[in-house]
Amino acid sequence: MLKTQEIAINVGPQHPSTHGVFRIILKLDGETIVDAEPVVGYLHRGIEKLAEDRTYTQVIPYTDRMDYLGAMSYNLGYVQAVEKLMGIEVPERAEFIRVIATELSRIASHHVFLASMALDMGSYTGWMYPFRDRELVLELLEMLTGSRMTFSFMRIGGVADDLPEGFIEKTKEYLPKILEGVDEEEGLLAGNEIFIARTKGLAPVSVEKALAWGWGGANLRASGYKFDLRKNRPYSVYDHFDFDIPTGANGDCWDRFTIRLAEMRQSVKIIEQALEMIPEGPIMAKVPKVIKPPVGEVYHEVEAPKGILGYYVVSDGSTKPYRMHVRRPSFINIGMLRDILIGTKLADFITIFASIDVVLGDVDC
Amino acid sequence: MGENLFVGMAHWLRAWLENQRFLPLVTDVLLMLLAVVGVLAFLFLNALFLIYYDRKFGAWVQARLGPNRVGPRGIFQTVADTVKLLAKEIFIPNNVDRWPYLLAPVLIFTIPVMLFMVIPFGKGMVPYDLNLGLLYFVAVTSVETIVLWMAGWSSNNKYSLLGAMRSVAQMLSYEMPVILAMLSVVLMVGSMKLSDIVAAQQKVWFIFLQPVGFLIYFVAVNAEIKRTPFDLVEGESEIISGPYTEYSGMNFALFFLAEYTNFMLAAMMVTTLFLGGWNAPFGWTFIPSWLWFLFKMYFVISLFMWTRWTFLRIRIDQMLSFAWKFLLPVALVNIFVTGFGLYLYRMIRW
């Protein structure tokens, strides 16, 4: 009698498609996944513990390193949390610069999402085009902050530097090119029959399930729930801008892909409006040289490219935080992985994992 | 002008050898060995160029430069890669099944080389014109499946096993549409001899008479040579290198070379069956036939590369259902229509 056997395969920390050092132990029956056990921690650097031993300003570079692809939002969340704790009001020009930087960072992060998803599915060209366009965004960010990836641009009370000369013109020159690139990538992938066959109907997630597992950001919006922190609980100056919140229908991989394409276009729209509306003024509030927040705790959430990012900062009145905890979106998002993987194929694991858009620096902190 | 370059050389060699008063058997054997050497030389030079061309083509599609350091415009890149692979340590992992593990790379390269025997490279330039040339081609190609299975199974690695299973399923499934598409051409020619098939295309190439057959063959042979969109055997982002994972150095180089040799063979078959082989279009015979063959072969190769660099990988179950539920019925219908059409054609003629 023919006997079949399940094999346990280790999609190890070193793998071309795990977006970092992610490990998952899959039990396969042929090509179908019957069990999955994610193992994380290969990139754990102890950021939350390190934060307890640094002054509030010294923690800012650590926040970049969590999601190194969309680092501005992580800066933003942290400094806004501390500002909330201290009751600091940030000048308007600084807020606008923050928005421009954050949205540029969001576009860069989504470029990597598009590229990685394409590469994981076998399209080497689909990987090159977003990275080519990402170069434009990184050039702008380098002009602004001096760094291409981990910016440490925001400060408690404002931003580190003003917009350099020629920045606005250059941004206006590059934004149409970015939009063109998004159209090109959409034509290459979203119009491709193989892509549609591989992503449509794969791992649909209902709104209830997404909310129950704590999903947020683009993944939740793909399921059909119109929730964006920038619109529902506006922070910074996002209430000044007019932009849409794209939502999907079924919450399958196809929706998660197309939603982020649409989000990139909305980000470009926000940047265009911000460049028009930016006022003159100081870029830093009157903040004491030594930052000593009052005793207390604060929790502040922002909309990061990967999802809902939350910072919980506890202060004991000294110059160093007593405790900082980061509610990291990628870590929360992969909680559901086992649930949605069972019953799919090995190739689907790659697609699903790519569509959730995680980055391991964010998972492990 | 250069039309009979190689045929002329072969005749001259034969005459010279016969003058040396060797036994006719010895002359024949020597000439055959020279033919083998010639084919191998053609193969290696083309494979070397093809790998470079693939990378440059891909670079052109992706708005970048490709190899451009080693040699003028990077043409010696493949040579550098080959030297690197030759210099690598060949280690044999602990628990592999020794004989299949060591035999697989040798066999995987031997088989495509065997197939060069029946291909008409130009007018009168078939190394050995078998009456059942097409059948020979199909039969020998099928053996490759076993060799890949040997490689994947003996590696004692779950990823290789998955790759080997995928390769067996894929190559088996796509044999059928390949054979049926070839069959529609055989129906029109009435012979399996490849030089007859080329001769029958003197007036009209079969791509115009058998468009559906051409498309089926193109897609199915793309799956046989395991190129994107059908490259899940070596699906780099999923199973690393599939059956080739545990091979290094020259072993890996042989697999790689075999892949590109298969690629060339597929392009040559498309040229021979559908694009008129060495026939010159519009009667432009001032370019020798073997040059036309090369041009057409490289045109088909470029088409394959174009699809490779544009599309993404298909999933295994979708690929199998595509072969069995779509390509196979369409190929069968194509044969039916071809047969019916031939019957009508003969009825009208008489």
pLDDT digits (tens, 9 = 90+) for A237-290: 899 999 999 998 888 999 999 999 999 999 999 999 999 999 999 999 999 989
Predicted local distance difference test score (pLDDT) of residue B349? 79
Question: What range defines the domain where residue A231 resides?
Answer: 7-364
Distance CA A222, CA A259 (A): 6
Distance CA A356, CA A24 (A): 15
Residue B126 covered by a domain: yes
- pLDDT digit string, tens, across residues A39-96: 999 999 999 999 999 999 999 999 999 989 989 999 999 999 999 999 999 999 999 9
Question: What range defines the domain where residue B272 resides?
Answer: 78-349
Residue of B nearest to A31 (CA): B162
Residue of A nearest to B316 (CA): A347
Residue B42 covered by a domain: no
Cβ pair B315, B278 in contact under 8 A? no
Residue B57 covered by a domain: no
Confidence of residue A309 (pLDDT cuts 50, 70, 90): very high
Contact B312 A198 (CB under 8 A): yes
Residue of A nearest to B310 (CA): A125
**Residue B314 to chain A, least CA–CA distance (Å):** 6
Across A13-29, average pLDDT: 84
Predicted local distance difference test score (pLDDT) of residue A167? 93
Say how many CA atoms lie within 13 Å of A307 toward its Cβ.
27
Cβ pair A357, A329 in contact under 8 A? no
**Residue B241 to chain A, least CA–CA distance (Å):** 11
- Count residue pairs from A and B with Cβ separation < 8 A: 84
Distance CA A137, CA A133 (A): 7
Q: What is the mean pLDDT of chain B?
A: 87
**Residue B238 to chain A, least CA–CA distance (Å):** 7
**Residue B312 to chain A, least CA–CA distance (Å):** 4
Residue B255 covered by a domain: yes
SS3 B131: coil
The DSSP bridge pattern shows strands A158-159 and A154-155 to be antiparallel
Predicted local distance difference test score (pLDDT) of residue B19? 81
- Ranking A189-193, B99-103, B248-252, B323-327 by mean pLDDT, the lowest is B248-252
Contact B316 A31 (CB under 8 A): yes
With contacts defined as CB-CB under 8 Å, which chain A residues touch B166? 31
Q: Which residue has the tokens 């990061």?
A: A304
Q: What is the mean pLDDT of chain A?
A: 91
With contacts defined as CB-CB under 8 Å, which chain B residues touch A28? 162
Predicted local distance difference test score (pLDDT) of residue B238? 63
**Residue B27 to chain A, least CA–CA distance (Å):** 51
Predicted local distance difference test score (pLDDT) of residue B236? 58
Confidence of residue B161 (pLDDT cuts 50, 70, 90): confident
Contact A124 B309 (CB under 8 A): yes
With contacts defined as CB-CB under 8 Å, which chain B residues touch A126? 312
Contact A122 B158 (CB under 8 A): no
If interface means Cβ-Cβ distance under 8 Å, which residues of chain A face chain B?
A: 7, 9, 15-17, 28, 30-31, 118-126, 128-129, 132, 188-189, 192, 194-195, 197-198, 345-348, 350
Across B84-104, average pLDDT: 87
Distance CA A37, CA A24 (A): 5
Cβ pair A68, A149 in contact under 8 A? yes
With contacts defined as CB-CB under 8 Å, which chain B residues touch A7? 158, 161
Across A12-39, average pLDDT: 86
Taking 80 as the threshold, does the pLDDT of residue B168 lie above it?
Answer: yes
Say how many CA atoms lie within 13 Å of B165 toward its Cβ.
11
Neighbours of B182 (CB within 10 A): 24
- pLDDT digit string, tens, across residues A128-172: 999 999 999 999 999 999 999 999 999 999 999 999 999 999 999
Cβ pair B277, B120 in contact under 8 A? yes
Distance (Å) of CA B6 to CA B34, B217, B250: 12, 30, 32
Q: Which two tokens stand for residue B267?
A: 């392009």
Taking 90 as the threshold, does the pLDDT of residue A108 lie above it?
Answer: yes
Write the residue in B62, B161, B236 that is nearest to A125 by C-beta. B62
Contact B311 A123 (CB under 8 A): yes
Cβ pair B230, B319 in contact under 8 A? yes
Q: Which of A17-21, A79-83, B152-156 has the highest mean pLDDT?
A: A79-83
Please state the separation of Cα B81 from the chain's center in Å: 22
Residue A2 covered by a domain: no
Q: Which residue has the tokens 């070379």?
A: B257
Residue B29 covered by a domain: no
Taking 60 as the threshold, does the pLDDT of residue B350 lie above it?
Answer: no
Write the residue in B64, B229, B316 that is nearest to A128 by C-beta. B64
Write the residue in B159, B312, B318 that is nearest to A121 by C-beta. B312
- Ranking A288-302, A330-344, B223-237 by mean pLDDT, the lowest is B223-237
Across B285-314, average pLDDT: 90
Write the residue in B239, B240, B313 that is nearest to A121 by C-beta. B313
Distance (Å) of CA A109 to CA A216, A257, A359, B243: 16, 13, 10, 34
Domain total for chain A?
1
With helix as H, strand as E and coil as C, how does B151-216 read? HHHHCCCHHHHHHHHHHHHHHHHHHHHHHHHHHHHHHHHCCCCHHHHHHCCCCCCHHHHCHHHHHH
With contacts defined as CB-CB under 8 Å, which chain B residues touch A132? 63
Q: Which of B64, B153, B168, B237 is the best mutation test for A, with the most CBs of A within 10 A?
A: B237
Confidence of residue B282 (pLDDT cuts 50, 70, 90): confident
Residue B44 covered by a domain: no
Taking 60 as the threshold, does the pLDDT of residue B191 lie above it?
Answer: yes
Predicted local distance difference test score (pLDDT) of residue B125? 81
- pLDDT digit string, tens, across residues B29-68: 888 888 888 888 988 899 989 999 999 999 999 988 888 8
Report the candidate in A243, A273, A264 with the shortest Cα–Cα distance to residue A183: A264
**Identity of the residue numbered A91:** P
CB within 8 Å of B63: residues ≥ 6 apart: A128, A129, A132
- Ranking A196-200, A305-309, B48-52, B156-160 by mean pLDDT, the lowest is B156-160
Residue B15 covered by a domain: no
Domain total for chain B?
1
Residue of A nearest to B241 (CA): A16
Distance CA B101, CA B316 (A): 25
**Residue B317 to chain A, least CA–CA distance (Å):** 9
Residue B34 covered by a domain: no
Residue A70 covered by a domain: yes
Residue A84 covered by a domain: yes
SS3 B332: helix
With contacts defined as CB-CB under 8 Å, which chain B residues touch A125? 58, 61-62, 309-310
Cis check for the bond before B229: say yes or no (omega within 30 of 0): yes
- pLDDT digit string, tens, across residues B200-223: 888 889 999 889 999 999 999 999
Across B297-320, average pLDDT: 90
- Model's pTM, two decimal places? 0.90
Q: Which of A6, A7, A9, A135 is the best mutation test for B, with the most CBs of B within 10 A?
A: A9
ipTM of the complex: 0.84
- pLDDT digit string, tens, across residues B105-133: 999 999 988 898 889 888 878 888 888 88
Contact A16 B236 (CB under 8 A): yes
Q: Taking the CA atoms of chain A, what radius of gyration do you get in angstroms?
A: 21
CATH number at residue A172: 1.10.645.10
